[in-house]
Homo-oligomer: A and B are copies of this chain.
């Protein structure tokens, strides 16, 4: 069932997942188009962003984002066109970055909308990634918390992912030695050949710890943590004094429904933070850095225009496929930033 002009398809949260989400946790519904009031725009979703943080919103456990209510539309950043406008600031046909969620159409009073950045005009879906939330996450986490200096060693997990791939490329631009960690030989090759990482290691390789040590002969100054799980354990012993660990995601733990069965690693981490004088800092881009978005768009727009930073997108078609695509992403089956084309790029 593809997008129709008179019907709104939407995917709602049917039930909360235990462990990995399945299609049974979602429900596809259809409804009439919502009525447009004065001061509103009707938005047509063209690109839907799928991101790991959404897993957190499906649970009602404490999280950094409020849970999605049962029967409510799955939330998501979207790139949309203004289909109809009764709002003075928006014209029909205009591109916007919006929060439509997993549905074809949405109303907005304009307050939650941003113009699509200029540098994304030729490639609107970049407004969800390079020039949107994931790029912004990479930029602020690396530069503001990580504070990489030329010559330092930066390690990035999920190296070909939407955030990790940008972290590594910015670190290279800053003159750092950049080691990526990714799942599988193909992703590692891509990180080295297309993203310019100095080296990328396969986290499935049983010799990961030894390899990481040999490719970080001067230790690790910045570890950009967006994965959690076992990568953290192999990185920690290699951290240098005064190392920085920006932490923006723990995808490895998102699906965990049972507590860790490992021995208590807390004293080990506390000890390392003390002995090595580490800085471990969590951040949530939408809450901590809205005041720096314009700076980010200017700088990243320049890098993107100059092709100094590139992005691999993993593009899927069809809103109704979103649940399956999302589940696959949480298992690392995606390769690059996951976006779903919900409607044709051209009106």
**Closest Cβ neighbor of A269 among chain B residues:** B266
B247 engages A64 (CB within 8 Å) = no
CB < 8 Å: which of B241, B263, B267 contacts A228? B267
A246-272 vs B, CB cutoff 8 Å, 1 = contact: the mask equals 011110010010011111111111110
CB < 8 Å: which of B232, B259, B264 contacts A261? B264
CB < 8 Å: which of B242, B250, B265, B287 contacts A288? B242
A270 engages B228 (CB within 8 Å) = yes
A264 engages B259 (CB within 8 Å) = yes
Point out the residues of chain B lying under 8 angstroms from A276, CB to CB. Answer: 64, 282
Point out the residues of chain B lying under 8 angstroms from A270, CB to CB. Answer: 225, 228, 232, 247, 250, 253
Say whether, besides A259-B263, A260-B263, A266-B260, A253 and B228 are in contact (CB < 8 Å).
no
Point out the residues of chain B lying under 8 angstroms from A281, CB to CB. Answer: 273, 277-281
Within 8 A of B (CB), among A282-301: 282-284, 287-288
Within 8 A of B (CB), among A188-223: none
Within 8 A of B (CB), among A59-101: 62-64
Point out the residues of chain B lying under 8 angstroms from A269, CB to CB. Answer: 266, 269
14 new A-B contacts, CB < 8 A, other than A242-B288, A259-B267, are A62-B275, A228-B270, A232-B270, A250-B271, A260-B264, A264-B266, A275-B282, A277-B283, A277-B284, A278-B281, A279-B280, A279-B281, A280-B280, A280-B281
A24 within 8 A of B: no
Instruction: Kindly provide the distance from the CB of A221 to the nearest chain B CB, expressed in whole angstroms.
Output: 15
In the bound complex, CA of A270 to CA of B281 (Å)? 9
Point out the residues of chain B lying under 8 angstroms from A20, CB to CB. Answer: none
Say whether, besides A62-B275, A277-B281, A277-B284, A260 and B267 are in contact (CB < 8 Å).
yes
Q: Is the interface of A mostly helix, strand, loop or mixed?
A: mixed
A274 within 8 A of B: yes
A52-64 vs B, CB cutoff 8 Å, 1 = contact: the mask equals 0000000000111
In the bound complex, CA of A225 to CA of B267 (Å)? 13
Instruction: Kindly provide the distance from the CB of A312 to the nearest chain B CB, expressed in whole angstroms.
Output: 25
A277 engages B64 (CB within 8 Å) = yes
In the bound complex, CA of A270 to CA of B253 (Å)? 10
Point out the residues of chain B lying under 8 angstroms from A63, CB to CB. Answer: 275
In the bound complex, CA of A248 to CA of B274 (Å)? 6
